[in-house]
Amino acid sequence: MRAFVGPLGLAAAFLSPVPSLAQNSLTLDQALEQAATRSPLIAAAVREVDAARGASLQAGLWRNPELSATVEDLRRDSRTTTITLDIPLELGGKRSARVGAAERTLGLALAELSKVRADVRADVIQAFFGALLAQERVQLAQGSADIAGRAADAVALRVAAGKVSPLEASRAHVDRANAQLELAESRAGLQTARAALAAVLGDAAPAFEGVQGDLAVLPHRPALDELLARLDASPALLAGRLEAERRRALVDVERSRAVPDLVLNLGSRRDAAAGRTQAIVGFTLPLPVFDRNQGAVVEASRRAEKADDELQALRLRLLTELQDASQRLAQARHSLAILQEAVLPSARQAHEAASKGFDAGKFGFLDVVDAQRTLLLARARYLNTLAAAHQAVAAIDRITGR
């Protein structure tokens, strides 16, 4: 009897990457290109850069002078007309401090844009391989369901022939039902993964039928020491440093506001009754007796210190995350090597032996089911390990801004 030869070939086929059969399949390069041009997160970050450029332009402008005119007594022969021009003069380095803060705000916006692009790229890679993994799981579950179905049919024939107990037929039917449930769950997981990928691409619904790629191909990443050397160039850390600099620049802005501005008054007064015109020269200078902006200076100083503390905390967090991601990638590579070289071949050989023994009447149905389950679990673990490896790569790229 050869009922298990077909399922065995199908199970063995699962040990190789399954290419996408969708006509409208999406590759990783296409996904990255689409996200770069259509991601709302990137678009929002670009808007913020444009806004910061506008704020920088505004910060460098001089204050406008004010023109005022008054007329006393509306009769032509006796009226007095006064015209003055008030010219504000910023003292204490207000304009330079304001410009410096605006420039740092613009630099921060540019750094945030780089960070968002790195985050989106990492999200796309993670979602893409999540969808690819979900496709592989559907293939695996479909194969498991096919094997369970053929096994149930084979056992039914043996029961009809009186070669095995009807109890084994019941067990085979239960195994087939469980395999069908796993297939339905894997299909639902694929729909969720496709929707998640579409979201990071900027689409409300998937515009693709599937994704095309090879889970088994892992990108190379440097060793931990080299990754740690690149940490200071991390987009997130760069944004944190620029935020600390911006906060310190705001302290200078608040300190400059402690110096009052001088307003120069220039004008003339025409007295029609006396027939003469008089020049007017004066100035206005607030006296910083009570309000010297001391509260705002304290607030800005503490926020600058807080930004420094947050920068240190961010660096420690990124350091920990980078070490963790690198270790997870190394462990995943080690596990994949063992799975490919030892676990999967052994599971396949055990399944082949159990199937042949069952056909020859040497083994029972449960022996074949156990061997089959071991093979499928090994393949599932292989897929999960690949997923962990790709997630670790995405985490490394997110931190380093690759």
pLDDT greater at residue 283 or residue 361: 283
Burial 321-331 (b: 16+ CB within 10 A, else e): ebeebbebbee
* pLDDT over 90 at 351, yes or no: no
What's the rounded mean pLDDT across residues 58-84?
92
Interval 206-243: pLDDT, tens: 888 889 988 888 888 888 889 998 898 999 999 999 99
pLDDT greater at residue 4 or residue 156: 156
Tokens for 149, please give them.
Answer: 């179905």
What's the rounded mean pLDDT across residues 2-11?
37
Domains in the chain, CATH or no CATH each: 5-400 (1.20.1600.10)
Confidence of residue 266 (pLDDT cuts 50, 70, 90): very high
Centroid of chain to Cα 346: 39
Question: Are 216 and 384 contacting, i.e. CB atoms less than 8 angstroms apart?
Answer: no
**Rg of the chain (C-alpha set):** 37
Distance CA 323, CA 139 (A): 34
Residue 32: burial class (beta carbons within 10 Å; 0-12, 13-18, 19+)? middle
Calculate the alpha carbon distances from 237 to 289, 309, 312 in Å.
42, 13, 9
Q: Residue 369 contacts by C-beta under 8 Å, 6 or more apart in sequence?
A: 151, 171, 172, 175
Mean pLDDT of the chain: 88
pTM, two decimals, is 0.80
Interval 370-388: pLDDT, tens: 788 888 889 889 999 998 9
Which residue reads 């332009």 in tokens?
57
Position 236, amino acid: A
Distance CA 80, CA 70 (A): 8
Burial 372-400 (b: 16+ CB within 10 A, else e): bbbbbebbbbbbebbbbbbbbbbbbbbbb
Element (H, E) at 265: strand 262-271
* pLDDT over 90 at 259, yes or no: yes
How many CA within 13 A on the CB side of residue 156?
10
Tokens for 279, please give them.
Answer: 């020049």
Interval 19-40: pLDDT, tens: 444 458 899 999 999 999 999 9
Distance CA 81, CA 232 (A): 66
Interval 133-177: pLDDT, tens: 999 999 989 988 888 888 788 778 878 877 777 887 888 888 889
Centroid of chain to Cα 56: 28
* pLDDT over 50 at 205, yes or no: yes
